[in-house]
Amino acid sequence: MANTKKVCGPGAVGQGRHLMGAERGRVMDTKQAILRLADARGVTGYESPAGDVVTALFADIVDEVRRDSLGSVIMLKRGASPEPSAKIMFAAHVDEIGMIVSKIEDEGFLQVRMMGGVDRRILPSMEVTVHGRRDIPGVIGAIPPHLQDSTEKDKSWKWEELVVDCGMSADKLREAVRVGDVVSFDRAGIELANNRVAGKSMDDRAGVAVMYECALELQKLRHDCDVYFVATVQEEVGYGGSITSTHGIMPDIGIAIDVGHGDMPGVPEHRTLKLGEGPAISYGPHVHPHIFTKLKEVAGERGVPYQVEAGTSPRGTDAYAMQMTRSGVATGLISVPLRYMHTSVETLAVDDVKKSGQLLAYFASAVDSRFREGLTCF
């Protein structure tokens, strides 16, 4: 069967507006891809701009790109087998945490509430963009410590104590902003020493970058299975995109790619993952034992460094939704070590992203009919 490239669904028209000129159709290196994805806007439930970046990034290295009705970007790389083949689904969520306007104050300030797991402690002094009738820059302000009494200084902020200041009068603000408009963090990613990067929404644009690396690596390998890469939406508020896309694809194998807490001062070693020491292969109630074993075997055979992560709860990633969809899907989970999760300076090692993508490509290449049939034997 000839490979016919197809790009369809919402976002197919004008898909390149976030990738300029020569960048479209050009293979990016790992670091470029991570930063390009992380800088894109895509607050949970409003992921379209980030989805446009994903679409343009993958368009020339997969056989089909489409979006489902919820907005998840679904990309297919067909297998080499002429017979109906197994389907592998890799999923990483493209949405990011953010806020929503809840009230416009008469003094010209905006009250906001969280979209996803926003930590209120980090918000004062944060630069944001209010996505109203036009994009409006703003800052998050709070009472300075000089004006607080001693009982207030050590307490976490309440939402009512935080405001978005756009420098506009209430009348002008009401012309441009409505209750229900989305607010995103305005923080460009930066490069750090030792091939590390930091920025907003590495959770989980890093996972999308892992899928990009996997797709590039699969161009060098034979794989009989059809491989689906899915940039899922609404993970931060309840796994909506992974549920609907898994239901539509009906994969034989599903592997979620997310982030895990990286090593940092003040946190016990057993609760974190080491940056720069490769992906973490998760094991727990949400992971099929044969997939866990196969990922470790492939990593050992191919010389991919890895860590093992103990998952004590099935919830927290798209793996749970994939596992529980329809009559159940054999599921795995790969985690990229990440420091300072749910802040605007989430930090990771670029090599961990690259190695994660390579591991998934080698896994897809190693899956055959015998392994697929063995998934029902415990």
The model's pLDDT over 175-218, given as tens digits with 9 standing for 90+, comes to 999 999 999 999 999 999 999 999 999 999 999 999 999 999 99
Find the mean pLDDT for residues 269-289.
94
**Which pLDDT belongs to residue 77?**
97
Dig out the tokens for 115 from the structure. Answer: 């979209």
235 is catalytic: yes
Amino acid 22: pLDDT: 39
**Average pLDDT of the residues of the chain:** 90
Mean pLDDT across 141-170: 83
Q: Considering the entire predicted model, what is its pTM? A: 0.91
What pLDDT band is residue 139 in, cutting at 50, 70 and 90?
A: very high
Catalytic residue, candidates 64, 235, 236, 346: 235
pLDDT on residue 291: 96
What pLDDT was estimated at residue 13? 30
In the prediction, which pLDDT does 153 show?
66
**Predicted pLDDT at 343:** 94
Would you place residue 2 in the very low, low, confident or very high pLDDT band (cuts 50, 70, 90)? very low
Res 376: pLDDT: 84
Domains of the chain: 6-96+200-374 (3.40.630.10), 98-185 (2.40.30.40)
Average pLDDT over residues 240-266: 95
Confidence of residue 10 (pLDDT cuts 50, 70, 90): very low
Q: What pLDDT does 109 receive?
A: 97
Share of the chain above pLDDT 90, in %: 75
- Over residues 42-70, the pLDDT tens digits come to 999 999 999 999 999 999 999 999 999 99
At 5 the pLDDT is 55
Looking at residue 6, its pLDDT comes to 56
Mean pLDDT of 246-252: 95
pLDDT in tens, 309-361: 998 776 688 898 899 888 889 999 999 999 999 999 999 999 999 999 999 99
pLDDT, residue 63, reads: 96
Is residue 18 very low, low, confident or very high in pLDDT (cuts 50, 70, 90)?
A: very low
